[in-house]
Structure 1
Amino acid sequence: MCCLAESNQDGLLGGLLVPGFDEQSCISRYKSTSHLKKLARSPSTHLVKRLREQEALQRRCGPGTETYRRAAERLGPRGNGNGTTTDDDACKYLVLVPYRGLGNRILAMASAFLYAMLTDRVLLVHRGTSLPDLFCEPFQETSWLLPPDFPLGDLENLTGEVPESYRNLAREYGRAASVSDLPYVFVDLDHACTYHDKLFYCDDHREFLHRAPWLVMRTDGYFVPALFLNPAYQEELDKLFPRKDSVFYLLARYLFHPTNKVWGLITRFYNSYLKDSDERLGIQVRVFDGDTPFKHVLDQILACTSQEHLLPEVVAQDPGPPASTAGARSKAVLMTGLSSWYFENIRGRYWQSATAAGEVVSVHQPSHEEHQLTGEATHDMKALAEMYLLSMTDALVTSGWSTFGYVGHGLGGLTPWIMFKPENLTTPDPPCRRAASMEPCLHGPPFYDCRARGGADTGKLVPHVRHCEDMSWGLKLVHPE
Structure 2
Amino acid sequence: MNPSSLHGFIQSSIRKQQQIVTKLQRFNMTWFPKLAVLLAASLVLFIVFFIWRDSELDAFTDIGLDDDLSQVAGELTSDKLLGGLLAPNFTRRSCLSRYQSISYRKSSRHEPSSYLVSRLREYERLHKRCGPYAESYKKSIKEMVSGRIESSSVCRYVVWVAKCGLGNRMLSITSAFLYALLTNRVLLIYEEADMANVFCEPFPDTTWLLPKDFPFNYRLSRFKQKYAKSFGNTLKNNNNKISVSTEQLPSHLYLYLSHDYSHHDKLFFCDQDQIILRNIPWLIIKSDVYFLPSLFLMPSFEEELSKLFPDKETVFHHLGRYLFHPSNQVWTLITSYYKKYLVEAEERIGIQIRIFDKKTSPFQQVMDQILTCTFKEKLLPQVDMGKSIVAPSGKGKSKAVLLTSLIPSYYEKLKDMYLKHPTLNGEVINVYQPSHEEKQRSTNNVHNQKALAEINLLSMMDVLVTSARSTFGYVAQGLAGKKPLILYKIEDNKIPNPVCGRAVSLEPCFHSPPIYDCKAKREVDTATIVPYLRHCEDIHWGIKLFNST
1:259-274 aligned at under 5 Å gives the runs: 259-274=327-342
Counterpart amino acid of 1:174?
Answer: N
Within a 5 Å distance, the mapping from 1:442-461 to structure 2 comes to 442-461=510-529
- Size of the alignment, in residue pairs? 469
1:274-298 deviation digits (Å, cap 9, x = unpaired): 1111111111011011499621111
Once the two structures are superposed, the pairs formed by residues 5-404 of structure 1 within 5 Å of their partners are 9-76=78-145, 79=146, 81-82=147-148, 84-87=149-152, 89-152=153-216, 153-171=218-236, 172-178=238-244, 180-290=248-358, 294-318=363-387, 324-326=393-395, 328-404=396-472
Structure 1 residue 73 displacement after superposition: 2.1
Conserved? CA contact 2:399–2:429, under 8 Å: yes
Structure 1 stretch displaced more, 301-310 or 204-213: 301-310
Q: Is the 8 A contact 2:196 2:445 kept in 1?
A: no
Contact 1:390 1:408 in 2 (8 A): yes
- Is the 2:160–2:286 Cα contact (8 Å) retained in structure 1? yes
**What are the equivalent positions in structure 2 for 1:409-420 lying under 5 Å apart?**
409-420=477-488
The alignment partner of 2:383 has SS state of: coil
Q: 2-side partners of 1:8 and 1:454: how far apart?
A: 51
Preserved contact between residue 334 and residue 363 of structure 1 (Cα < 8 Å): yes
Residue 207 of structure 1 aligns with an amino acid whose one-letter code is: I
1:300-339 CA distance string (max 9 Å, x none): 111221222221111233389878433x211110000100
8 Å CA contact 2:333–2:453 kept in 1: the answer is yes
SS in structure 1 of the partner of residue 254 of structure 2? strand
Stretches of structure 1 lacking an aligned partner (at least 5 in a row): 1-6
Q: Distance in 1 between matches of 2:187 and 2:102?
A: 26
1:177-196 CA distance string (max 9 Å, x none) = 44734231111011121111
Q: 1:98, CA displacement in angstroms?
A: 2.5
Q: Deviations over 1:127-156 (max 9, x none)?
A: 122333111101111100000000012302
Secondary structure in 2 aligned to 1:459?
Answer: helix
Aligned to 1:430: 498
Find the aligned partners of 1:441 and 1:466 in 2 and give their Cα distance: 10
What is the identity, as a one-letter code, of the residue corresponding to 1:58?
H
Percent of aligned positions with the same letter in both sequences? 47
Mean CA deviation greater in 286-295 or 128-137: 286-295
Q: Matched residue of 1:380: which SS?
A: helix
**C-alpha contact 1:410 1:439 (8 A) present in aligned 2:** yes
Q: Please give the alpha-carbon distance, in whole angstroms, between the structure 1 residues aligned to 2:388 and 2:482.
A: 36
Moved over 6 A (4+): 319-323
CA 1:99 to 1:398, structure 2 compared with 1: closer, same or farther past 3 Å?
A: same
Instruction: Write the letter of the residue equivalent to 1:434.
Output: R
Q: Deviations over 1:158-185 (max 9, x none)?
A: 1233333110233224355447342311
Deviation at 1:351, TM superposition (A): 1.2
Give the CA deviation at 1:465: 0.9
Amino acid paired to 2:454: E
| Structure 2 counterpart of 1:3 | none
Q: 1:323 to 1:191 in 2, by over 3 A?
A: closer
Distance 1:261 1:386 in 2: 13
SS of alignment partner, residue 276 of structure 2 = helix
The amino acid that maps onto 1:46 is Y
**Compared with structure 1, are the counterparts of its residues 61 and 304 closer, same or farther at alpha carbon in structure 2 (3 Å cutoff)?**
same
Deviation at 1:425, TM superposition (A): 2.7
Q: CA deviation at 1:457?
A: 0.9
Alpha-carbon displacement from aligned partner over 1:252-277 (angstroms, at most 9, x marks no partner):
11111111100000001111111111
Greater mean deviation of Cα atoms: 265-274 or 127-136: 127-136
SS in structure 2 at match of 1:332: strand
Report the AA paired with residue 295 of structure 1.
Q
Q: Is the 8 A contact 1:175 1:204 kept in 2?
A: no
Shift of 1:420: 1.6
CA contact 1:293–1:339 (8 Å) conserved in 2: no
Can you list the C-alpha shifts for 1:78-108, whole angstroms capped at 9, x where unaligned?
Answer: x1x23x4411x11110000032101110111
Alpha-carbon distance between aligned partners in 2 of 1:454 and 1:320, rounded to the nearest angstrom: 65
Helix, strand or coil at the partner of 2:98: helix
The one-letter amino acid paired with 2:394 is T
Task: State how far apart, in whole Å, the 1-side matches of 2:507 and 2:500 are.
Answer: 17
Give the match for residue 49 of structure 2. none
> For residues 156 and 390 of structure 2, what CA distance do their matches in structure 1 show?
72
Superposition TM-score, scaled by structure 2 size: 0.82
Cα distance between partner residues in 1 of 2:389 and 2:431: 23
Q: In structure 2, what is the Cα distance between the partners aligned to 1:368 and 1:158?
A: 32
169 and 72 in structure 1: CA distance in 2 versus 1, 3 angstrom threshold = same
Whether the 8 Å contact between 1:102 and 1:375 is mirrored in structure 2 is no
For residues 435 and 458 of structure 1, the distance between their equivalents in structure 2, rounded to whole angstroms, comes to 20
Instruction: In structure 1, give the amino acid aligned to 2:416.
Output: G
Higher Cα Rg, which structure: 2
